[in-house]
Amino acid sequence: MIDELVEQLRDRPLIDHHVHGAWLSDGDRSRFENALNEGSTDPLPGWDSGFDNQLGFAIRAHCAPVLDLEPHAAADAYWQRRTSLGEAEVARRFLSAAGVSDWLVDTGFPGETCEPEELAALSGAHDHRVIRLESLAEQAIADSANYAEAFPALLEATITQEQAVGMKTVAAYRTGFDLDWSEPAAGSVVEAAARWRDSGGRRLTDPVLINFGIRSALALQKRRGGLPLQFHVGFGDRDEDLHRTDPLLLLPLLREFADASICLLHCYPFERQAGYLAQAFAGVYLDVGLAINYLGARSPSLIARSLEVAPFGKLLYSSDAYGPAELHLLGAHLWRSGTAQVLSHFVERGEWSTTDALRVAGMIGSENARRLYRL
Ligand SMILES: [Zn+2]
């Protein structure tokens, strides 16, 4: 049963609805190993190896064969082979092996990673852009003395110009979700913008302006249709106060915008709370991307938890890959194998039919995203 499902899922292209660029230029081993730790951006201590965790083991198991190595190749052999091929060839192999038809790329986190067009060209897939609110806010404050009008105008102009299919907020990193979500008075937006500008207008952390940005995005979504708003939720680096990113803290906002299209990204370790919100609000969707890669051999348990109370039409696939293209492939591979494992267990116990299992896998893998983002 599980083999049949794995085979069926392997042939079906995925829509990766939240991803970043891949590296194309060569780097050293510490860059690579640091990229296998989401929580810390510090260099690893000398005694530790970036490979000695679930993600590192999953890379050696599932990525090594794509580089012509045996599964579970040793870390040193893996690194040597990777280096001899070069980052661009490594990226080409992993991206084309991922079986993704559409990449929805968050371009708001600049770094050494490639552009959405390069991701598409290397994998023979389509690329689409997602606009990050806080990066745009930081441009708007620099260019205009009239922020309250300038930000919504810049947001709409950017969406049109980039033909973006969605928007994203990193409020989780900037303020957390325990905000006063009530509508800020016009005067308080103007005052907060003036304060921010006077302090140099760099990284946006003002709760009034974070709330204003999200409300501007939801107003635009209502007017134009489509354009779901993605929220980073849960698992991330330690800059974030993880305990303040429980998505239940979004309840006041979700009650006010009960029909808005909102995607809760990653969600770990709050995937059950996110699943409940997806049941409670017509427009709320979730994925368990990023954490699937980090849980490696334990990722089927996370996929199983995402299939508890959330309606099946509200689940999405993402890798949240950034940097090494192993992550773009591994997200897809572990999602396919974990989903096949969880669903085949339902079928074997007589709870689900094979037809239903395949239908739900198709919904999560691509159909829900195609409908939601109007691809
Ligand atoms: Zn991301």
Identify the band that residue 1 occupies on the pLDDT scale cut at 50, 70 and 90. confident
What's phi and psi for 168, nearest 5 deg? -140, 145
Ligand 1 midpoint to CA 187 (Å): 33
Distance 198 CA to ligand 1 centre (A): 30
Q: What is the pLDDT of residue 29?
A: 94
Judge whether 217 and 229 are in contact, CB under 8 Å. Answer: yes
Distance between Cα 329 and ligand 1 center (Å): 15
Residue 19 CA to ligand 1 center (angstroms) comes to 6
**In this prediction, what percent of the chain has a pLDDT beyond 90?**
89
- What pLDDT is stored for residue 240 in this prediction? 92
What is the per-residue pLDDT for 8? 87
E strand or H helix at 337, and its extent?
A: helix 326-348
160 Cα–ligand 1 center, Å: 22
Q: Using a pLDDT cut of 70, give the percent of the chain over it.
A: 100
pLDDT at 58 (0 to 100): 98
Query: What tokens does 292 get?
Result: 């699937």
How much distance in Å is there from the Cα of 109 to the middle of ligand 1?
8
Say how many Å lie between the CA of residue 29 and the centre of ligand 1.
22
**Mean pLDDT over residues 282-300, rounded?**
98
Number of other residues whose CB lies within 10 A of the CB of residue 231: 25
pLDDT of 30-74, one tens digit each?
999 999 998 888 888 889 889 999 999 999 999 999 999 999 999
Distance (Å) from CA 120 to ligand 1 centroid = 17
Q: What is the mean pLDDT of the chain?
A: 96
Cα of 107 vs centre of ligand 1, distance in Å, is 9
What average pLDDT does the segment 83-94 reach? Answer: 98
- For residues 271-275, average pLDDT: 98
Tokens linked to 149 = 């009008």
pLDDT at 232: 98
pLDDT score, position 145: 81
Q: What is the dihedral of CA 305, 307, 311, 315, to 10 degrees?
A: 90
Give me the pLDDT at residue 247, please: 98
Q: Which residues contact 120 (CB under 8 A, 6 or more apart)?
A: 103, 126, 127
Superfamily of 2-23+98-373 according to CATH: Metal-dependent hydrolases (3.20.20.140)
Cα-to-centroid distance, 195 and ligand 1 (Å)? 29
Q: pLDDT for 299-334, tens place per residue?
A: 999 999 999 999 999 999 999 999 999 999 999 999
Greater confidence (200 vs 334) lies with 334
Give the distance (Å) from ligand 1 centre to CA of residue 185. Answer: 31
Q: How far is the CA of 111 from the centre of ligand 1 (A)?
A: 13
Separation of alpha carbons 35 and 57, rounded Å: 14
Q: What is the pLDDT of residue 2?
A: 80
Q: Report CA(153)–ligand 1 centroid distance (Å).
A: 25
| Cβ atoms < 10 Å from Cβ of 160 | 10
* 104-115 per-position pLDDT tens digit: 999 887 788 999
Ligand 1 centroid to residue 238 C-alpha, Å = 15
Q: Decide if pLDDT at 179 tops 90.
A: yes
**Averaged over 226-241, what is the pLDDT?**
95
Q: How remote is the CA of residue 164 from the centroid of ligand 1, in Å?
A: 16
- Quote the CA–CA distance of 128 and 375 in Å, as a whole number: 9
Residue 268 pLDDT: 97
State the amino acid at position 278 in one-letter form: A
DSSP string, 122-181: HHT-EEEEEEEHHHHHHHHHHH-S-HHHHHHHHHHHHHHHHT--EEEE-HHHHT-S-S--
CA 17 – ligand 1 centroid, Å: 10
Instruction: DSSP letter for 43, please.
Output: P
Mind listing the pLDDT tens digit for each residue in 339-355? 999 999 999 999 999 99
pLDDT tens digit string along 139-175? Answer: 999 877 899 999 999 999 999 999 999 999 999 999 9
Cα(317) to ligand 1 centroid in Å equals 13
